[in-house]
Amino acid sequence: MRAVVTRVTSASVHVEEQLVAAIGRGLLVLVGVAADDVGNDAVVLGRKIEGLRIFADEMGAMNRSVTDVGGAVLLVSQFTLLGDARHGRRPSFIAAAQPTVGRKLYERLAAELIAAGVPLQTGTFGASMAVASVNDGPVTILLDTGKVF
């Protein structure tokens, strides 16, 4: 599973001009599921997101997690994170999971975050979404359960 984690002061998702999710301070997490991902990838990624220390402490050092600061997570599915544009100009999405597998692991990741006590909002899996965010910092971290960044 691959994720782009952005620290935000606010973020929201609209589907067909209807607000479906919104958070204040926290993390906007765009997540893509790879064809070879399994349930443990959702567990590992959930733990990493929940414990990721990218919020400032009283000394200004990035030493606090989203739960430490009372923040929330807005989780948005984005299969295009698995796009491979190394060859030619049109990305290949062959590495992305099929929608049924992707949905299952996306929902598992959401369940892991909820179980960890993270206030969670989600986009609509498979929908065309308008995602808005006010980036804080900006601080953006790339996570991938299959690679070392």
- Residue 121 CA to residue 114 CA, distance in Å, equals 10
- Residue 147 CA to residue 81 CA, distance in Å, equals 14
Which listed residue (55, 67, 79, 121) is catalytic? 79
8-28 burial by CB neighbour count: b if 16+ within 10 A, else e? bebbbbbeeeeebbebebbbb
Residue 80 among the catalytic residues: yes
Residue 98 among the catalytic residues: no
Which listed residue (6, 55, 67, 78) is catalytic? 78
Residue 79 among the catalytic residues: yes
Q: Which residue has the tokens 């599973």?
A: 1
Active site residues: 78-80
